Structure 1
Amino acid sequence: MFSPRGPSLRELCVQALSSVEGGYDLLAPKFDYTPFRTPESILDATTAALSEHGPFGRGLDVCCGTGAGLPVLRSLCRGQITGVDFSDGMLARARDAHPDATWVRADVRALPFANGFDLAVSFGALGHFLPAERPALFAGVHRALRPSGLFAFPVGTVPPATSVAHWVTLGFDLTMRARNAVWRPPFVMYYRTNRTPEVLADLTAAGFTASAIDLDTLGRHSDGSPRCRLLLARKAT
């Protein structure tokens, strides 16, 4: 499915009926050949936007997966690059692709870092956290950053109701909710639980000064709203 080197439909079904950690362990060998990998267009747009705020010292990729975000950090940071994820399978692929980085297995809701990084990024992971889990995630990132450190991550916006994408994402989220209501362990992955105002409020509550900028190079919806925003959260000095 997706490409000759990607997972089959059967493999995706097995993954979807696993836990988040177990599912990504299973998917890891073929993950980079799926549409789930963060597109280069988003990585490039994020790099361009953050280049106006750098350069930075040490960098952290939160929920790093197979390491798609490492080139972003490498282009912006002068110091050591670290990736953290809780999937052994994904980390194994990341180590193979980027042996010069540091890789840490940990639950990002309890990050084992303190005052160690100048820039933290995350790509495509926020949908794996329920709104009630965001405070712990953001508090851990805040703790991991040095004073004046920056946390940045792109967030897709909700498409207008007149678009096909609106109904596709809504249908996906409803399907996942039905799956999690009747099947254990749950697989948390939602597209419509991270609206920008609520996420900014949680970042502020965690101690950040938070804002959002439109990533105009990624285009706009038919109603004129941006397809993607970059959220910027600065730790106080």
Structure 2
Amino acid sequence: MFSPQGPSLRELAVQSLSSVERGYDLLAPKFDHTPFRTPDAILDATTDALRPRGLFERGLDVCCGTGAGMRTLEPLCKEQVAGVDFSTGMLARAREAHPGAEWIRADVRALPFSEAFDLAVTFGALGHLLPAERPALFAGVHRALRPGGLFAFPIGAPPPIASVGYWTLLGFDAAMRIRNAIWRPPFVMYYRTCPLQAMRDDLAAAGFTVTTTPLEGLGRREDGSPRYRLLLARKP
């Protein structure tokens, strides 16, 4: 499915009926051949937006998956770059692709770092956390950053209510809620639980100073608003 190298429909069905961790362990060998992997255009736009803020010392990709975020971290960080995820399968693929990085298996809701990084990023993973779990993640990132450190991630504008995209995402989230109501273990993957204002509020509550900047390389919508913004959370 998606491409000759991607997972079959049966493989995706098995994954979707597993836990999040087990599902990504199963998907890991073919994950980079699916649309779930963050596109290079988003990674590059993030890199371009962060580059004027200077070089960083050490960088961390939170929920790193197979390591796509290294495309952003490696050009921006002078010293060590690292990724953290709880899927052994995804980390194995990341280690193969980027042997020079450090890879840590951990639950991102309880990050095991203290003032160790200057830059943290995450790409396309926040939908795997329930809104009630975000404060623990953001508190852990805040703890992991040195004073003055930056946590950055792109966030897309919601599709217009009259668009196919809006109803597709609504239908997907509804299907996932029904699945999780009747099947265990749950597979947490929602597209409509991370609105910009909620992100800003949760980050501010964790102690960050929050701003945004448009990712101009990804274009603008018909109303002139940016398709994507980079959310910038600075630890004072």
Q: Same fold (TM over 0.5)?
A: yes
**Equivalent residue number for residue 56 of structure 1:** 56
**Equivalent residue number for residue 133 of structure 2:** 133
Contact 2:86 / 2:108 at 8 angstroms: preserved in 1?
Answer: yes
CA distance in 2, matches of 1:9, 1:59: 36
- 1:30-87 deviations in whole A, cap 9, x for unaligned? 0000010000000010000000112100000000000000121000000101100000
CA shift at 1:224, angstroms?
3.4
Correspondence 1:174 to 2:174? yes
CA distance in 2, matches of 1:224, 1:110: 39
**TM-score, structure 1 as length reference:** 0.98
Q: Indicate the SS of the match to 2:53.
A: coil
**Equivalent residue number for residue 159 of structure 1:** 159
**Equivalent residue number for residue 65 of structure 2:** 65
CA shift at 1:121, angstroms?
0.4
Q: Indicate the SS of the match to 1:83.
A: strand
Correspondence 1:212 to 2:212? yes
CA shift at 1:225, angstroms?
3.1
Give the aligned CA root-mean-square deviation in angstroms.
0.9
Contact 1:160 / 1:223 at 8 angstroms: preserved in 2?
Answer: no
**Equivalent residue number for residue 83 of structure 1:** 83
Contact 2:145 / 2:235 at 8 angstroms: preserved in 1?
Answer: yes
CA shift at 1:211, angstroms?
1.3
Contact 1:24 / 1:89 at 8 angstroms: preserved in 2?
Answer: yes
- 1:92-135 deviations in whole A, cap 9, x for unaligned? 00000001100000000000000000000001101111110110
Q: Indicate the SS of the match to 1:52.
A: helix
CA distance in 2, matches of 1:229, 1:50: 12
CA shift at 1:222, angstroms?
3.5
**TM-score, structure 2 as length reference:** 0.98
**Equivalent residue number for residue 5 of structure 1:** 5
CA distance in 2, matches of 1:161, 1:222: 14
CA shift at 1:221, angstroms?
3.0
CA shift at 1:158, angstroms?
1.1
CA distance in 2, matches of 1:48, 1:26: 33
CA shift at 1:213, angstroms?
1.6
Correspondence 1:97 to 2:88? no
CA distance in 2, matches of 1:64, 1:54: 23
Contact 2:142 / 2:235 at 8 angstroms: preserved in 1?
Answer: yes
What is the one-letter code of the residue matched to 2:190? Answer: Y
Contact 2:25 / 2:89 at 8 angstroms: preserved in 1?
Answer: yes
CA distance in 2, matches of 1:70, 1:62: 11
Q: Indicate the SS of the match to 1:165.
A: helix
**Equivalent residue number for residue 145 of structure 1:** 145
CA distance in 2, matches of 1:143, 1:235: 9
CA shift at 1:226, angstroms?
2.4
Q: Indicate the SS of the match to 1:103.
A: strand
Contact 2:44 / 2:71 at 8 angstroms: preserved in 1?
Answer: no
Runs of 5+ in structure 1 lacking a partner?
none
**Equivalent residue number for residue 120 of structure 1:** 120
Percent identity at matched positions? Answer: 72
CA distance in 2, matches of 1:146, 1:112: 14
